[in-house]
Structure 1
Amino acid sequence: YFKHRGILGPPHHFLFGHYKTLWSTKSFSKQIQEWTRQYGSIYGLFLGRRPMYVVSDVDFLQEVYIKQFSSFHSRAIPRIFRIETDGKIHLFRANGETWRRQRHVINPTFSSSKLKSMTSLVNKCITALLNKISQITDDKQKETNIYELYKRLTMDVICKIIDFSYKCPINNLFFLGRCAFGIDTDMQNDINNPYLQKLAVLFKTDVDDLLLFRLANLIPFLARPLHDIVFGLENVRETLVKLLPVLNDYIAEIPALWLMNRVQGVVDVRIQSSSTSTKRTDLLQLMMEATRDNMTDPIDDQSMTKTLRPNELIPNVFLFMAAGYETTSTALAYSTYILATKQDIQEKIVEEIKNSSWNQNNNEEEAYEIATNLSYLDLFAREVLRMYPITSKAMIRECNTTTTIGGHTIEKGSVIQPDVFTIHYNPDLWGPEDPNTFYPERHLVKRHPVAWMPFGVGSRNCVGMRFALMELKLCLIHLLNQYRILPTDKTEKGFKLEERVVIQPDAIFVKLEKRLI
């Protein structure tokens, strides 16, 4: 197939294609990097019998993500996830007009005005983090795995942003006070928080490693029966628990379904209370209102109903919950590692903060403006994400219409997988400074539009990118304003990368020393 197209690639099995190698490798990203070194910037793999182009040619990718987006608007997702479940589909999975409609509805949620309104809630969560850190730094010799603290922070932020201040059901119990998704917001002090535990399980599991998913990808006609088995077993579980509630402690729910069921409970309470309670402006409320407001976009060439359907609400809230947890905490962990090992860069950022009008009494608009306009901090964040991209699998695209790019005919159904690490470390794209060197100032130079892609590129880039960067910057400003981040022996040894849903460090150990004011 590829040979006839003049494209190289490693040898493959007639049935498995390259799945056997990809399933056995510890790092998908490192494996495709190694093949790129052998076979060039465009080479071919087979996912079973399905052709996949692995690409580090940025001009080719610019066609895919931007210029010919209409031919590549779909993500190539596991076949089990393609099975329609009563329209319960979120933005990440959606394709075509469904994706376009959802994106139009959700985009305004992350506008500058909305982000400003979220700043005070993010700052409250960061204050809780600093309080936790102050307890740790009482012991001046103690080092801490700050990555674990960041995970609790980002989960806390999600719960504040999708705020819920009513009585919230948790396993038939009720907690009073401020909570979101039915979660006690003191979670930064509670390592046994069930939401943190469920999300941890979710991100430790790469669906590509699960036997049922592998079978469905390898033998497409099995996708429907395997899908029905997975969700059929969950229905059996629900029935058994209703008959014998005590079984709830012995038969675990699938983590993703557990989370969505809790979100559904919160939404139900919010709907019931909407007529008697003060109207809210949080993310959940914006999405709920989008299920009722039937808007049309006068700017579009083709008028389109801009409404989020009721059965799309829960999946999209769940998506925000999952996407905002491990990704931002991982970016913060990498940032902290760099700050600990490069004290000169840390002091540059501290000096920039001091020279700004930042203080603890800034209102939400001032805090937002300062955080988003600290130029060196922005260069720093961009360089962290260049050297440590959080994911590469999320950038994968499926060809929806047969087309031609650079003389290559890309057939409908083919898959395009960018080699993100090769792109991010390409000296032709990121020189003249060595791309293996951490050098924030390299981002002062205008680069190719596809040279930097930690959040994706084009119309299907990460909808929450601006929120993630705002959260990261606010956290670093607060932290560096109060603490000096110091390396320990464990920091100097580095960390091991673990690639599942995201590419994450196993741990980031640092020592935090209170700054003298």
Structure 2
Amino acid sequence: YGNFRQIHKNKNYSEMLREWTKEFGKTYGYFEGHLPVIVTSDLEFIQEVFIKQSTNFSARKKANLNRKENDPSSNLFTSTKSRWKRMRMIMNPTFSSAKLRELGPILVNCADRLIDVLNKEGDAEINVSQYFKRFTMDSIWNCAFGVDINMQYEKENLYFKKCEEIFLRTLELSFVEILGVLFHEFKELILEYLIIIMSILAKFIDPKKLIPFIWLNEKVQEIVEIREKDKSIKRKDYIQLLIDSRLEDCSIDLFENKKFLSSLEIKANLILFMLAGYETTSTALSYSSHVLATHPDEQLRLHDEISSVFGNDLSLINSDSVQELKYLDWFVKEVLRYYPIGNSVVARRCTKKTTIKGIDIPVDTPIAVDVMSIHFDADLWGPQDPNEFYPPRHEVKRNPLAFMAFGNGPRNCIGMKFALIELKIALVKLIMSYEILPAANKSKELQYEEGVVRFPKNGVKIFLKKRIQ
């Protein structure tokens, strides 16, 4: 196993790297099985990997099980080189300022539903994390697919349950994933055989009892087929953009740099958008609510700023107007600095042998970034103590590589702008509707757990007290 068992057993990957950095310095290595992984918090090293030599690191770190590079179902996250460039070029317009302006009313509507659902609880102590999960999934389905599946109001919603099951499975290693770690040279082959076996079993099993990912895959396929058949449905959403770029599968070269996607790539990227935007944004909202409850001065300052811009007219809230809230912007960035979320995916894989700062890096070597050490480095985030939550530190111009919440370089998170607007709209609605107070007998310190995402282990409990409008 190398050091892999140690990391997985701990279930706090980020803190483990941070401890190793204290012991071994800014750049060192560990083993996943017999695969060496380089870890760094050296910004000069990171600049080489993520920016200056990004063409030599044009792939993500492989998962425990990984698709082949020429797999027809690869998505933006798993694809490499020219295939990744083609996909990114097609998808970039979805996240432009103009497109986000169109999606703004949908996000506002989803945030209004969140407040409506919370209002039904009355003045109450709640674990707010589950509500945020339903809100983010509701936003994704409406914005990406143009489909309203009643995610927030329906307690036993099957779509929500399946997505939650997929997330929970990332916390535990299956037997085949262990094989992928032990025999990393064969992880693509192992996954290929697993998919074949699951596809065969799916023919004999009730669809609702399928492995959640396969169930979700089928549902997305159904939505794509409906949209392709009914030409009268022409919404300006993510799925339409991808369908419009579709080319008949028989005529596409996966590695040609042309503005076309295959039908399998469309489905793969829709699922990626759904899963990547679900737990990350909801976790950021959970952390934000914890800060608001434990830092009443921050909550008051945000409430004052929002009131000064909107007054009592919350109809003015949209994707543009929330960008005018300077302190809210600092607050969100400070939440993401203090509670970084997707740390395990801030990594690259060497695709062409190279040397950085005297270290020879062979092809296929992963480079993982120790995000926590960077985000709490006093030299990067001073003079205010980085262990203190202090939004105004973002007023000062910093080294852009000191903030790794969305990665960096050409392969940074494509949905960053969408996530930030979604976060800000939800927070504005929440702060203007409620006074957010600490739960009774609740410690200020959160307990963490980490799979793909670093999240509060038991959710976040707060007391919501309705504001008198």
- TM interval, shorter chain, is over 0.9
* Residue 216 (structure 2) pairs with residue 263 (structure 1): no
Q: Measure the CA separation in 2 of the matches of 1:278 and 1:75.
A: 35
SS of 2:437's partner is strand
SS in 2 for 1:136: coil
The answer to whether the 8 A contact 1:398-1:415 is kept is yes
Looking at structure 2, the residues matched to 115 and 209 of structure 1 have their Cα atoms a distance apart, in angstroms, of 37
Question: Does residue 1:489 correspond to 2:444, yes or no?
Answer: no
Q: What are the residue-to-residue correspondences of 1:3-82 with 2, within 5 Å?
A: 16-78=1-63, 80-82=65-67
Gapped regions of structure 1 (runs ≥ 5):
1-15, 165-178, 242-246, 294-302
Deviation per CA, 1:44-70, whole angstroms, max 9, x where unpaired? 112222221110111111111111101
The one-letter code sitting in structure 2 at the alignment partner of 1:96 is K
Partner of 2:138: 156
Q: Which residue of 2 aligns with 1:360?
A: 314
Counterpart secondary structure, 1:498: strand
Per-residue deviation, residues 215-262 of structure 1 (Å, max 9, x unmatched): 122213543553244223312222324xxxxx456xx32211211110
Q: Distance in 1 between matches of 2:218 and 2:207?
A: 14
Contact 1:341 1:492 in 2 (8 A): no
Q: Secondary structure at the match of 1:460?
A: coil
Superposed structure 1 runs of 4+ greater than 4 Å apart: none
The corresponding residue for 1:217 is 181
Q: Structure 1: how far apart are the matches of 2:300 and 2:307? A: 10
Give 2:90's aligned residue: 105
Inter-partner Cα distance in structure 2 for 1:102 and 1:207: 29
Q: Scaled by the length of structure 2, what TM-score is found?
A: 0.94
Shift in Å at residue 102 of structure 1? 0.4
Alignment partners' CA distance in 2, 1:221 and 1:51? 13
Q: Given the superposition, is the C-alpha separation of residues 492 and 25 from structure 1 closer, same or farther in structure 2, using an over 3 Å criterion?
A: closer
Distance 2:188 2:106 in 1: 42
Aligned to 2:211: 254
Q: Please tell me whether residue 476 in structure 1 is matched to residue 427 in structure 2.
A: yes
2-structure distance, mates of 1:260, 1:388: 31
1:287 matches 2:242: yes
* Counterpart code for 1:268: E
Distance 1:268 1:248, change over 3 A: closer
Using the TM superposition, name which of 208-217 and 473-482 deviates more: 208-217
* 3-state SS in 1 of match to 2:37: strand
- The whole-number CA distance in structure 2 between the counterparts of 1:35 and 1:76 is 20
Question: Judging changes above 3 Å, is the alpha-carbon distance between structure 1 residues 498 and 281 closer, same or farther for their aligned structure 2 residues?
Answer: same
Q: Which amino acid aligns with 1:271?
A: E
Cα distance in 1 between the residues matched to 2:298 and 2:153? 31
Determine which structure has more spread, i.e. the larger CA radius of gyration: 1
Q: 1:190-339 to 2 correspondence within 5 Å?
A: 190-206=154-170, 209-241=173-205, 247-248=206-207, 252-274=209-231, 277-292=232-247, 304-339=257-292
Distance 2:267 2:369 in 1: 30
Query: Matched residue of 2:47: which SS?
Result: helix
Change in 2 beyond 3 A, CA 1:458/1:248: closer
One-letter amino acid matched to 1:408? I
Deviations 1:395-443 (A, max 9, x none): 1111111112122222222111111001100111111111110000111
3-state DSSP class of the match of 2:402? coil
Query: Residue deviations 1:185-223, cap 9 Å, x none?
Result: x22122211111111111112277222112122213543
Q: Which has the higher contact order (CA 8 A, sep 6+)?
A: 2
Q: How does 1:371-390 map to 2 (within 5 A)?
A: 371-390=322-341
1:339 and 1:346 in contact (8 A); partners too: yes
The normalised TM-score by structure 1 is: 0.85
| Equivalent-residue separation in structure 2 for 1:68 and 1:229 (angstroms) | 35
Q: 2:370 aligns with which of 413, 419, 424?
A: 419
